[in-house]
A and B are shown apart, each in its own frame.
Chain A
């Protein structure tokens, strides 16, 4: 067990991870767990909204392209429900235009897939530091 995994639940970061690519969600959640983040996995927009009702999150990472509910749509709802919660968007588009759209709707920042874990972690910590 690493140092970060031993953190008490209250000091660990509670993160909502939304992406319809199950393999991606699983591995990211595992890797985050090793880095002091409890990631709640949601495979769709509606899953994400259910999770939000059950629990408070420090932060959300949302994929922009999903089958059921578009990431942008989810982002708008999240921003209405919990405006203070930072949202980082991910995009698999070669173009970063969709991500820029996300920024317009209040996303904290964006990353293009595939991205390095370190990059993602950096953004997460940045966002939380900014929020505090």
Chain B
């Protein structure tokens, strides 16, 4: 697989894991928030509904009390009694003591003339005949006015009662203290943004709202949007704030009590919860992303390494397959050559047997025959060795045990390489122990081992240097050390030098099989090979050959 395919795989892993992780996370977060906010909203609506109902009842009761007390007075006194200033003042003081909130009290006759007055304004003698409320009270008998400015040029509202006395009518009229009334209305407001006020059927403020607008000003409220019972609306005011508004018509059906609340204030704790939730989700997301990316990277790199290792193994397997095929072919060829060699050897042997007969003993040339036959035998042996060596690549090949003089083998090997070394101005120095015994081993394979190591040493030095070859006898082994003063083997390559096909030489210069074959030969001979290398100082190979006595052949 190429790098880009690993990257693609990594991307797919990351996307799939993130999708699988995030979908339920966001879904759960969303649903939870929706449910909580719905519950919260319902709770807020219930609160505001309760408040508007109870406050409307309070205001209704307030008006009813004031109306009832005025009606009771009107019903019990006569016109002549009430227009007496003292009586009126006493009555005024009495009703303020019992009920309160009256600003003034006046008596108006059927012509609209203000006949008696108690209060802070100078209203006595004014004629109300053309005032709108006068017509209303004359017609209905009881009238609670909207807020108006009237003669006193100050917003107020009145309660007026008409009394029929014989053929004449008169009106008892009281003004309600707007401040006290407004305070009662306003007591319904809550929090920093809550508001409570009254509007009339035209949407004009009947009490001063807390925010935006003054009494008798036009409100944002559309009274037609409020039905018979309590109505809750969500409105966006002129400032763009979302407000929850509960409205309830008072019993007189002319005033609408409005209790409103900024949604964001009431939902504040919910918003806090939402922000906390978002923060948790955000943190979780970062954690998930980090974990996903890191673990995916780790997994993919592991996979990549495993793939690389497998490819390497496959390559090695392919190579060993090739070697096995080569070995098989060599074995077949070996059989075809060994059989005729066997016949030749036996025929020469037969001739040697025959030479022992008396008839041949007399021949002058008998020595010549014998030498020639020996030569034939030697060459058969040579051919046999060639075949045997040809099988060197076949791993299963067993060493052929024979009498081996290790020192002699080393000398032969050195003489083979001397010329090559001299050409590169490299000295080959042999320091061989005189006590090395003859052992049972495989001379040609040992020669191959020494040849590989010494020629590697020469190649490693390149030019100008020294290769020292030492032999020593040990308790159970013969130790051969081959040291060079070349550049040494880099540490990262040290673990690979015995691997098949590992080479530091230029392409085509080395097969990478030399040390691998060396290692296998030594192992088959029952010995061991090790090395010590220091960068810049050189490398020393130590070959330990088992000291097998020749009799064990």
Contact = CB atoms under 8 A, between A and B. Distances in A.
B444 to A, nearest CB: 13
B112 to A, nearest CB: 142
A21 B343 CA distance: 8
B334 interface: yes
A113 B338 contact: yes
Interface of A: 2, 21, 23-24, 27-28, 30-31, 34, 65, 92-97, 112-117
Contacts of A114: 338, 341-342, 344-346, 380, 384
A101 to B, nearest CB: 12
Nearest to A65: B335
Interface stretch (B220-228, B316-324, B387-395): B387-395
B335 A94 contact: yes
B199 interface: no
A91 to B, nearest CB: 8
A94 B350 contact: no
B396 A30 contact: no
Contacts of A24: 339, 342-343, 346
A27 B344 CA distance: 10
B370 interface: no
A94 B338 CA distance: 8
Q: Is the interface of B mostly helix, strand, loop or mixed?
A: helix
Contacts of B380: 114
A3 to B, nearest CB: 11
B482 interface: no
Interface string B306-339: 0000000000000000000000001100111011
B155 to A, nearest CB: 124
Contacts of B290: none
List of 6 A-B pairs having minimum Cβ-Cβ separation, nearest first: A94-B334, A113-B342, A114-B342, A92-B338, A94-B391, A114-B345
A97 B391 CA distance: 13
Contacts of A97: 396
A27 B343 contact: yes
A116 B345 contact: yes
Given A34-B353, A117-B349, A92 B343 contact: no
A24 B342 CA distance: 7
A21 B346 contact: no
B86 interface: no
B383 to A, nearest CB: 9
B165 interface: no
Given A92-B338, A95-B331, 12 more contacts: A2-B356, A27-B343, A34-B353, A65-B335, A94-B335, A94-B390, A94-B394, A95-B391, A113-B339, A114-B338, A114-B341, A116-B345
19 contacts: A23-B347, A24-B343, A27-B349, A27-B350, A28-B346, A31-B346, A92-B335, A94-B334, A94-B335, A94-B338, A94-B391, A95-B331, A95-B396, A97-B396, A113-B338, A113-B341, A114-B341, A117-B346, A117-B349
Contacts of B343: 21, 23-24, 27
A93 B341 CA distance: 12
Contacts of B341: 113-114
Given A94-B391, A112-B338, A27 B346 contact: yes
